[in-house]
Amino acid sequence: MLEKTIDDIHDIDDGIAENNDNNKVTQNMPLLENITTPADFKGLSREQLPRLAEQIRERIIQVVSKNGGHLASSLGAVELTLAIHYVFDLPADTLIWDVGHQAYAHKLITGRNRQFDTLRQYKGLSGFSRIKENSCDGFTVGHSSTSISAGLGICCAKYLNQDDSHVISVIGDGSMTAGLAYEGLNQAGDLKRKLIVILNDNDMSISRNVGALSSYLSRTFSAKYLQTMRNQFGAFLKSLPRIGEDMYKIAKRSEESFKTFVTPGMLFEAFNFDYFGPINGHNLDHLIDILDNIKNAADSPVLLHVTTVKGKGYAPAEKNPIYFHGVGSFVVDTGKTSRCPREIPSYTQVFGEQMVQLGKSFPSLVAVTAAMPEGTGLKDFSSQYPDRFFDVGIAEQHAVTFSAGLAVKGIRPVVTIYSTFLQRAYDQILHDVCIDAHPVIFALDRGGIVGEDGPTHHGLFDFAYLRPMPNMTVMAPADENELARMLKTAILHDGPIALRYPRGSAEGVPVADPVLPLEIGKGTVVCDGDDLLIIAIGRGVAEALKARAQLASEGIFAAVVNARFVKPLDEDLLLAKAGECKKIITVEEHVLAGGFGSAVLEMFMDKGLTDLCIKRIGIDDCFVEHGPQDVLRKAYKIDVDAVAKAGRELYGQR
């Protein structure tokens, strides 16, 4: 099932003979299970590494097929991981994985093989690298394009501490679309510290100019003696009276012109990085050789460009790397999902369907996303309206300001980004959209608890960072019908507006036809009751209704209000209901600080209602770990049982 891991596309000298019995025995030895520390790995010979790569791929596929995870990226980076660990000495040297999608092999050879079955499970291994999980994890990651900036910071700290060890930042070609990566490159080139950046190009998005010649030249140019000669010759030319500086510039341009002919390195040379590549990222011998050269010669920033195949060694993932980028459980033999088909559509699916439908009626409607057309449900919209769909890459800040520009000229942009990633564009929302009240629509997918991706991915802060912005309207649907209505409301609204909806299945409520817009700032009473008042928003409405049923069976009757809007609140409705019952619970899948419950409390205090007894259900002042959504909701006390318990406690107070 698994393909061999040695890529022989252009490596004519790369064959490893396996014709004698000793080599066959070596190939069949169990290597991975004997690696409990990085030191165990360092004891292997080069000849054993291809077999280890094979065993690592088998282990990754085995676990991810059960737990889900980022499969394709991790399979593609196996040889690169082994080469880095073989050359450098972790944790003395520091390795940073950008985002962390490709870090599974790294986990396996740094003492976490025996715990690997707990990957992405509650209280198990994180799906990303985290400082507190292992000393070989150089930086806690999860969001894109941070590795160069973090690596440079660590590099400078080591310099100040007189620490001569190395810093290696591995970044993917997708992450190179974000401005933060270039900000890091810019300062690194200016400071000229000993930073090694490895560009893992697994989509050939920068250049297709990969071949034996460029691989050979990169390995040759990186040799220490040639680097020394190059620097000495440059110094000699500069020292020549009157003509030295001009001669040096001519020589430099000649070298750069030649390298540009066979490599795409001029961009990085412009940042004062020594560039080597592209080189085949599945050729262990070549990778080890060039990393050895760079390690011994690098006294200034270096960028090594390697090309890899996403999903390498597992045919279904190689064929469909987008699907296997972040995948749920699947059957290894076929690559098909092992989960039962979803009877109820997800909120993301409903959103995507409504965008297609609304696109017919609103020709000014466009969709903007940051490298997530599939994940945000916009695939069909992009197919049907290609001229009205914009994927800006991993560049959330640009996405927002770009959308503000569209809105200035009468276009209705829907900026569709996961809640956690929109945090990266806080200033652009405030400065470029809200100050002039441009009608930009923010569709925040994955609002609330996301699940196995953990604290870097939960969308638990959006109410708090959007609510204080003047001119901004914030709403959250209780079900898929409200999602459809809110999207239409947003298109008709003449100002900045955000709708936030959760990951996973919706509530099974049919979407009405026709879809009618909502009145801005108006909630609705779902159930009446005299003993308690539960005010809920978004997914919290479903938990509130379940809790009401529990309480009703105990003789406690609660009114339930679906607020619909975080900003503006339906003050008239909430004040009237609070006048009827002074025991109030607010429910939200969001942090308590600055969230929906805080907005309700502020409103009551501003209106002089100081005799209320209020309990807020939400996330305390902490980061939520990774695990299944329902497990996390229970663990962090925002599920139906938590709401019902709060109701009993309030009802029992006199």
Contact predicate 414/359, CB 8 Å: no
Kindly list the structural domains of the chain, giving each domain's residue range(s) and its CATH number in brackets, ordered by start.
24-319 (3.40.50.970), 347-500 (3.40.50.970), 524-652 (3.40.50.920)
Q: What is the per-residue burial (b if ≥16 Cβ within 10 Å, else e) of 70-106?
A: bbbbbbbbbbbbbbbbbbbebeebbbbbbbbbbbbbb
* Dist. CA 444–CA 221, nearest whole Å: 47
Does position 418 have pLDDT exceeding 80, yes or no? yes
Does position 13 have pLDDT exceeding 50, yes or no? no
477 prior amide bond cis, ω within 30: no
- Residue type (1 letter), 61: I
Active-site residue flag, 259: no
Q: What is the DSSP letter of 2?
A: B
The pLDDT of residue 478 is 98
Burial class for 551, CB neighbours closer than 10 Å (0-12, 13-18, 19+): buried
Does position 235 have pLDDT exceeding 80, yes or no? no
Tokens in use for 316? 């279904």
Angle at 545 between CA 540 and CA 548, to 5 degrees: 125
* Dist. CA 548–CA 558, nearest whole Å: 6
User: Which one is predicted more confidently, 264 or 532?
Assistant: 532
What is the pLDDT confidence band of residue 296, given thresholds at 50, 70 and 90? confident
Q: What are phi and psi of 93, to 5 degrees?
A: -80, 150
Pick from 53, 1, 54: nearest CA to 315: 1
Annotated catalytic residue: which of 396, 452, 480, 589? 396
Sheet with 274-280: strands ordered across? 94-97, 167-172, 195-201, 302-307, 274-280
Contact predicate 509/481, CB 8 Å: yes
C-alpha count within 13 angstroms, C-beta hemisphere, residue 83: 26
Pick from 303, 441, 311, 306: nearest CA to 369: 441
**What is each CA distance from 491 to 89, 180, 407, 430, 591, in whole angstroms?**
55, 31, 12, 20, 28
How far is residue 237 CA from its own chain's centroid?
47
Q: Mean pLDDT check: name the lowest of 20-24, 520-524, 600-604.
A: 20-24
637 dihedral zone (left: phi>0; alpha: psi -120 to 50; beta): left
Annotated catalytic residue: which of 107, 193, 310, 412? 310
Active-site residue flag, 616: no
Q: How many CB atoms lie within 10 A of CB 113?
A: 18
The pLDDT of residue 461 is 98
Quickly count helices (H) and strands (E) in the chain: 26, 17
Pick from 196, 220, 200: nearest CA to 78: 200
How far is residue 444 CA from its own chain's centroid?
14
What is the pLDDT confidence band of residue 126, given thresholds at 50, 70 and 90? very high
- pLDDT tens sequence across 71-93: 999 999 999 999 999 999 999 99
Q: Mean pLDDT, to the nearest integer, of 316-340?
A: 87
**What is each CA distance from 230 to 187, 194, 251, 263, 654, in whole angstroms?**
24, 18, 10, 19, 84
Does position 496 have pLDDT exceeding 70, yes or no? yes
Q: What percentage of the chain reaches a pLDDT higher than 70?
A: 86
* Dist. CA 326–CA 73, nearest whole Å: 9
How far is residue 233 CA from its own chain's centroid?
45
Alpha helices in 68-146 (DSSP H): 71-76, 78-87, 104-107
Pick from 566, 355, 602, 354: nearest CA to 462: 566
Q: What is the DSSP letter of 342?
A: P
Burial class for 153, CB neighbours closer than 10 Å (0-12, 13-18, 19+): middle
Query: Where is mean pLDDT largest: 194-208, 318-332, 466-480?
Result: 466-480
Active-site residue flag, 396: yes
Radius of gyration, alpha carbons of the chain: 28
The pLDDT of residue 167 is 97
Q: Which residues contact 343 (CB under 8 A, 6 or more apart)?
A: 508
Burial class for 234, CB neighbours closer than 10 Å (0-12, 13-18, 19+): middle
Q: Mean pLDDT, to the nearest integer, of 111-129?
A: 95
Does position 633 have pLDDT exceeding 80, yes or no? yes
Q: What is the DSSP letter of 118?
A: G
Q: What is the DSSP letter of 111?
A: I
Pick from 402, 386, 397: nearest CA to 423: 397
Q: What are phi and psi of 416, to 5 degrees?
A: -110, 105
Annotated catalytic residue: which of 424, 539, 583, 615? 424
Angle at 11 between CA 333 and CA 208, to 5 degrees: 80
pTM of the model: 0.86
Contact predicate 518/493, CB 8 Å: no
Angle at 146 between CA 143 and CA 151, to 5 degrees: 145
Contact predicate 40/136, CB 8 Å: no
Does position 534 have pLDDT exceeding 90, yes or no? yes
The pLDDT of residue 213 is 42
Tokens in use for 412? 């209705």
The pLDDT of residue 555 is 96
Q: What percentage of the chain reaches a pLDDT higher than 90?
A: 76
Tokens in use for 486? 């809110």
Does position 8 have pLDDT exceeding 70, yes or no? no
What is the pLDDT confidence band of residue 585, given thresholds at 50, 70 and 90? very high
- Residue type (1 letter), 358: L
Burial class for 256, CB neighbours closer than 10 Å (0-12, 13-18, 19+): middle
Coil, strand, or helix at residue 533?
strand
